[in-house]
């Protein structure tokens, strides 16, 4: 399936010079949703995943579905101030600013094998923040999945992620 046809591109959003990849249009196509979910599942079904970590907000959609298929738990990583209990947090840089993400402190343990999922890999800042949160919990193994990778953006964060098994469904060069 050509997922690029299902992903809307919006020029100059959220600021001039950025070509935003909007996967919410992909959600409308049940065949595309099934394809993405099945592709991620098949890429990780034999890895022993115990928790899928989804990054706010679009990472929740497929993260939850894949966790269900993998018979794993789901852990949300949220923007600052959205979680009600004791949290761990990481500050990260992204292509148009900086932000903070948080995870419940008791969400992961040293027994977990984790799949971190997000819709888009741009600078890698959010993914590395999620990685650091998982590492603080001492998890056994970490994998990554992304729907899209903006390969033309090369950063130290993305170079760090090369040390981890990663699945990408759509690449933009």
Of these residues, 58, 78, 90, 102, which one is catalytic?
A: 58
Of these residues, 8, 9, 95, 111, which one is catalytic?
A: 95
Within 13 A of 141's CA, how many CA atoms are on the CB side? 9
- Mark whether 80 is an active-site residue: no
Strand partners, 117: 54, 145
Question: Distance (Å, rounded) from C-alpha 97 to C-alpha 78?
Answer: 17
Question: Distance (Å, rounded) from C-alpha 83 to C-alpha 114?
Answer: 20
- Mark whether 30 is an active-site residue: no
Q: Are 67 and 59 in contact (CB under 8 A)?
A: no
The residues annotated with a catalytic role in the active site are 58, 95
């Amino acid at each position: 399936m050509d997922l690029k046809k299902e992903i809307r591109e919006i020029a100059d959003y959220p600021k001039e010079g950025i070509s935003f990849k909007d996967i919410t249009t992909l959600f409308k196509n049940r065949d595309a949703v099934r394809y993405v979910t099945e592709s991620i599942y098949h890429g990780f079904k034999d890895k022993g995943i115990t928790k899928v970590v989804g990054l706010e907000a679009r990472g929740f959609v497929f993260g939850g579905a894949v966790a269900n298929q993998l018979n794993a738990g789901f852990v949300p990583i949220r923007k600052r101030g959205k979680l009600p209990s004791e949290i761990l947090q990481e500050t990260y840089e992204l292509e148009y600013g900086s932000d903070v993400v948080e995870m419940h402190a008791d969400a992961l343990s040293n027994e977990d094998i984790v799949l971190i999922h997000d819709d888009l890999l741009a600078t890698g800042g959010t993914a590395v923040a999620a990685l650091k949160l998982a590492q603080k919990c001492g998890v056994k193994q970490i994998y990554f999945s992304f729907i899209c990778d903006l390969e033309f953006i090369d950063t130290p964060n993305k170079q760090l992620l090369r040390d981890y098994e990663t699945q990408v469904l759509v690449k933009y060069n």
